[in-house]
């Protein structure tokens, strides 16, 4: 008998079911966590009997009830087919982003009511990020709020990283970001900033390049999407 997606999600959040997770499964999940170098790990039942799911970073592992075997990959519902693992990733992404304050982001909001909110991991040296940024006014006109997070692809300590710190520490961060993406010189600045934290968050959420757009339901849209297409997709969703 096929178990519906709705029931599957109920299983994931049920504390009663969570209490039944075998200790050997938790032990295997903890070993995987150590191998992956992750800070946190959680284990939840799946719609399949005797199979348990753990998401470590953006990677999904499915562990047998005896803890002896695990499968790395996504779980699908055969008749839909829906990617149940991706649905869980989406939940975790939006939970992580909603836990962040907008004060740590660089936000370009519509002058009128906000209809949609998108989160964009960006790099000032990425040409497609520059192209996307030029279309932010068009997105704002359509009621789309753009919340930028830093993702210096060259890594912590790189020239780009320090330049993005200067952007986030600028008096007018929106203007500094616009200037940086236009190739204009940014005045060096330092302060307590979230650049490293946002880079690490993006890596945890599955971001591998920029721009990377996370929609309000947690869906990750990698790469540049023209404003007209993005607006149409948001309306469709």
Could you list the active site residues? 123, 126, 129, 153
Residue labelled with tokens 């490293």? 196
Q: Is 72 helix (H, G, I), strand (E, B) or coil?
A: strand
DSSP alpha helix (H) spans, 76-194: 84-98, 127-134, 136-141, 159-168, 173-181
Peptide bond into 211 cis (omega under 30): yes
What would the two tokens of residue 125 be?
């040296």
| Residue 50 Rama label (left phi>0; alpha psi -120 to 50; beta) | left
Q: Is 80 helix (H, G, I), strand (E, B) or coil?
A: coil
**Which is it for strands 70-72 and 76-77: parallel, antiparallel or unpaired?**
unpaired
Residue labelled with tokens 């959040």? 13
């Amino acid at each position: 008998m096929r178990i519906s997606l709705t029931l599957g999600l109920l299983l994931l959040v049920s504390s009663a079911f969570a209490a039944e997770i075998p200790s050997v499964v938790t032990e295997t999940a903890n070993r995987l966590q150590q191998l992956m170098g992750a800070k946190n790990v959680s284990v939840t039942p799946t719609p399949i009997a005797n199979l348990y799911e753990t998401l470590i970073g953006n990677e999904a592992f499915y562990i047998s009830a005896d803890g002896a075997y695990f499968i790395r990959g996504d779980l699908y519902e055969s008749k839909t087919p829906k990617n149940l693992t991706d649905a869980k990733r989406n939940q975790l992404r939006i939970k992580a982003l909603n836990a962040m304050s907008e004060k740590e982001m660089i936000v370009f909001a519509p002058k009128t009511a906000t209809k949609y909110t998108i989160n964009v991991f960006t790099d000032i040296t990425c040409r497609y990020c520059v192209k996307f940024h030029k279309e932010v006014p068009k997105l704002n006109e359509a009621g789309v709020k753009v919340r930028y997070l830093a993702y210096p692809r060259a890594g912590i300590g790189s020239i780009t990283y320090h330049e993005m710190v200067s952007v986030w520490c600028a008096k007018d961060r929106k203007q500094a970001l616009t200037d940086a993406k236009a190739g204009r010189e940014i005045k060096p600045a330092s302060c307590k900033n979230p650049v490293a934290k946002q880079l690490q968050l993006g890596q945890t959420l599955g971001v591998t390049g920029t721009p990377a757009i996370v929609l309000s339901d947690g869906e990750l849209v990698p790469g540049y999407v023209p404003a007209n297409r993005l607006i149409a997709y948001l309306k469709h969703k």
